[in-house]
Structure 1
Amino acid sequence: MAHESEMSTEKLPLLPDDVAAQWLGSKLGHKVKSVSLTRTKFGTGTKLFYFIEYENEVADPSSRPSHVCVKGVFDPVMLKSQSWTLSLAQREADFFAKIAPAIKHMRYPRGWWGGRSDQQGIAIMSDLVHEGCTFPSEAGSYPLETVLEGVYQIAGLHAQFWGKSQEDYPWIDNNYDPAMLAITETWDSVVREPGRPKLPEYLMDGARVRKAQKKYYSRRNPKFRTLLHGDTHMGNTYFTADGHIRFLDWSAFHFASCFHDLVYFVSTMMTVEDRRTHEMEILDYYLSTLHSLGGPKLDRNDEELMIEYKKSYLTNLVWPVCGYILQPKTTVDVFAERTIAAWVDHKVLEVVEAEP
């Protein structure tokens, strides 16, 4: 995995046509004969998929990729209307350059290079589809066994960076909270649009929700701080050819409360009924795995822990207000339903409001 400096001074490709054979070869460390664009996937980050032919043979073909995904901001129209997508691309490039090589327990796409400039952030990864990987269906749900395999990896990431903060990694700022505060600004109007998921009356009050959101961000308990993936919902998972769950989209990692990753993952992966049935069993498994992989010994009989756990469900607040241009309606509606059920079950808003 090639590393890159803090801020690349070279000009990185800004349009798909700029991704030339010579440029790709320089990043992969091999002379490239030709590259062909096989498909493109647009979103908050654009994914360009290429088939690469090299000039010469190597003894070990797995030491270099034949099919890659080049992810960055390659859509000038999207970038102009959603300028925050640049910071996501730069953050993911940083992940592959600086953090990925050290991660022990959490599994993610193989990265070949990451770099950023003031106008771009690019990550070169293996093409998962070519590797036989599959992706969850838009409104899917999964059994306990699958969820626990994901929880094991989340606990492993958290154990490895337990107690660390931005003081230890000054370049990892919290880009997540400001993005979520921007998204909830339109709460009052979005939740009243025709065809949106039905919310309980008290959640129609955008001012109340945002006040709780701000209080949660300012009062997280440092006792549970670690490095988060930050965006562990089901849509950022995939399955290997042999059926193992892995995590995608590392553009939101930051330091915050460990339960953010846990509840965001579990509550989007399972039906409301399954989550209610297995939730405490999953929490116990997370806590025991965290300890076995080098983290602290924690217990859910600790009232302080359960308060932090319940508060962390505010992580999910993107779904009731998420625009259908950002995510498919089927996904948004199902995740909103799962979110609201968890908020009601755990009296999440009330728990945050009751804090001193």
Structure 2
Amino acid sequence: MTNPHFHLPRTLEEVDAAWLTAALGQRFPGVEVRTVTFGTAVRATGTKLRMLLEYNDAGHRHRLPATMWFKGGYEAHSDHVRTSHARESLFYAEIEPLGLVNAPKCYFASVDDDSGFGVQLIEDLLVRNASFGDARKPVSVAAATEALNQLARLHAHRWNAPDLHRLGEVGGSLATDGIVLRIMRDGAWEKSMTAPVAAALPQAFHTYAAAEAGMERLWALDRASQHLCMVHGDAHPGNLFFEHDGTPGFLDWQRFMQSDWAHDVSYFLIGSMDAEECAAHERDLVAHYLKALSAQGVAAPSWDEAWLSYRRHAMYGLVWNVVPPTMQPAEVCEMEALRFNAAVKRLDTHDALFGAA
């Protein structure tokens, strides 16, 4: 991680050629950004600005790219999600350079230790001619297999490591900040149960009280897990990208956290694949993941343990029933809700959570 005392811009107006020169100079000595031109701006959980940069000769010797993205928390809600930006900076500063997963390159990442404010300078994947994931374009079995290989390498790197506490509490802000349950309350869950996609969900989860109990039970089981590791935390299709040859990669590491391995595997497979294809191949894919994990030197869970955890973690994806269209397109929310509702039924997630030892 870059010097925690390095000044981070607190307003977007401070992101200028002089600051970019100082930031890039932390890793690339002698570089000078002579001009910066701002292009596309994306305002969501965080703030992303696409930049066109002109360098001195040292910048070209370091082979710095002509475009990159500046990312930080400059939205009205950013003070409430500081941990997400800090975790993303931690990933890009310490984990991305290891090459465990296909992820955007990072040229600068830092967090202010006092405030938790974090920013990154990240590769522009359009230069790679990458395409971006979308729930409306399900991933193939081959792509899912390669993604699982990457997740196995990531998970194995700090499997049950004593320093996982650096990533905060198990389950991250998804559990500790009440974000998930908050968007389910105030009648939102009951209203979602009147939608056509809810017909695929077992009646056992049709009340808010039952859904809340399922989420709380899942997080309690994760806190007691004997198979904790670093997880992406939000591996849905919108956080995937694909090389021109179809190789997948993972974007948006704001939910980087410690949890049970199945949080990533279940959320990724169920949420990214066509429901029927997932149902037909998920057992083989989970078995492949376990084999890939063992190949990294990890004492992988037994099949029975693993399958039970996979079934349990389908629970988390039920949040798609209440994700507002201001966060994701309505068609995407409906498609994801249908996938997870159907998975919870076929996997008997309720029994996995409450009926199994």
- With the length of structure 2 as denominator, give the TM-score of the two structures: 0.88
User: Is 1:350–2:345 an aligned residue pair?
Assistant: no
Match of 2:122, SS? strand
The residue type equivalent to 2:264 in the other structure is D
The residue type equivalent to 2:292 in the other structure is T
Q: What residue in structure 1 maps to residue 232 of structure 2?
A: 229
Q: Once the two structures are superposed, what CA deviation does each residue of 1:83-135 show, in whole Å capped at 9, x if it has no partner?
A: 4332212221122123333x342111001111123163101111111321110
| Structure 1 residues 39 and 347: CA distance shift in structure 2, 3 A | same
RMSD over equivalenced CA pairs, Å: 2.2
Please, which of 7, 20, 25 is the counterpart of residue 21 of structure 2? 25
Whole-Å Cα distance in 1 between the matches of residues 298 and 102 of structure 2?
18
Q: What residue in structure 1 maps to residue 173 of structure 2?
A: 176
Whole-Å Cα distance in 2 between the matches of residues 10 and 104 of structure 1?
26
Aligned length: 342
Please, which of 86, 91, 104 is the counterpart of residue 109 of structure 1? 104
Whole-Å Cα distance in 2 between the matches of residues 203 and 87 of structure 1?
30
User: Is 1:337–2:338 an aligned residue pair?
Assistant: yes
Q: What residue in structure 1 maps to residue 121 of structure 2?
A: 124
* Unmatched runs of 5 consecutive residues or more in structure 1: none
Deviation at 1:306, TM superposition (A): 2.4
Deviation at 1:11, TM superposition (A): 4.0
8 Å contact 1:14–1:73 — kept in the other structure?
Answer: no
8 Å contact 2:109–2:119 — kept in the other structure?
Answer: yes
Q: What residue in structure 1 maps to residue 188 of structure 2?
A: 190
Q: What residue in structure 1 maps to residue 217 of structure 2?
A: 215
Deviation at 1:185, TM superposition (A): 3.3
| Structure 1 residues 171 and 299: CA distance shift in structure 2, 3 A | closer
Whole-Å Cα distance in 2 between the matches of residues 88 and 150 of structure 1?
23
8 Å contact 1:237–1:248 — kept in the other structure?
Answer: yes
| Structure 1 residues 191 and 222: CA distance shift in structure 2, 3 A | closer
Deviation at 1:213, TM superposition (A): 1.3
* Unmatched runs of 5 consecutive residues or more in structure 2: 26-30
| Structure 1 residues 227 and 339: CA distance shift in structure 2, 3 A | same
Question: Which stretch shows the higher mean deviation, 172-181 or 23-32?
Answer: 172-181
Deviation at 1:262, TM superposition (A): 0.5
Whole-Å Cα distance in 1 between the matches of residues 197 and 246 of structure 2?
35
8 Å contact 1:257–1:312 — kept in the other structure?
Answer: no
Deviation at 1:41, TM superposition (A): 1.1
The residue type equivalent to 1:239 in the other structure is F
| Structure 1 residues 330 and 95: CA distance shift in structure 2, 3 A | same
Q: What residue in structure 1 maps to residue 28 of structure 2?
A: none
Query: 1:269-280 residue pairs with structure 2 within 5 A?
Result: 269-280=272-283
Whole-Å Cα distance in 2 between the matches of residues 25 and 67 of structure 1?
14
Whole-Å Cα distance in 1 between the matches of residues 177 and 214 of structure 2?
13
Deviation at 1:4, TM superposition (A): 1.4
Spell out structure 1 runs of 4+ moving beyond 4 A. Answer: 194-197
Deviation at 1:204, TM superposition (A): 2.2
Whole-Å Cα distance in 2 between the matches of residues 97 and 31 of structure 1?
21
| Structure 1 residues 330 and 179: CA distance shift in structure 2, 3 A | farther
Deviation at 1:186, TM superposition (A): 4.2
Deviation at 1:176, TM superposition (A): 3.3
Q: Once the two structures are superposed, what CA deviation does each residue of 1:38-82 show, in whole Å capped at 9, x if it has no partner?
A: 2111111111010110122566453x222111111123x343xxx
8 Å contact 1:16–1:48 — kept in the other structure?
Answer: no
The residue type equivalent to 2:268 in the other structure is F
8 Å contact 1:228–1:258 — kept in the other structure?
Answer: yes
User: Is 1:282–2:276 an aligned residue pair?
Assistant: no
The residue type equivalent to 2:127 in the other structure is H
Whole-Å Cα distance in 2 between the matches of residues 270 and 340 of structure 1?
14
Q: What residue in structure 1 maps to residue 270 of structure 2?
A: 267
| Structure 1 residues 115 and 139: CA distance shift in structure 2, 3 A | same
The residue type equivalent to 2:351 in the other structure is E
Deviation at 1:230, TM superposition (A): 1.1
Q: Which has the higher helix share?
A: 2
Q: Once the two structures are superposed, what CA deviation does each residue of 1:175-197 show, in whole Å capped at 9, x if it has no partner?
A: 23436733223425223447845
Deviation at 1:173, TM superposition (A): 0.3
Deviation at 1:10, TM superposition (A): 4.5
The residue type equivalent to 1:24 in the other structure is L
Query: 1:29-108 residue pairs with structure 2 within 5 A?
Result: 29=25, 30-57=31-58, 60=61, 62=63, 64-75=64-75, 77-79=76-78, 83-101=79-97, 103-108=98-103
| Structure 1 residues 328 and 133: CA distance shift in structure 2, 3 A | same
Please, which of 207, 215, 218 is the counterpart of residue 205 of structure 1? 207
The residue type equivalent to 1:226 in the other structure is C
Whole-Å Cα distance in 2 between the matches of residues 58 and 171 of structure 1?
33
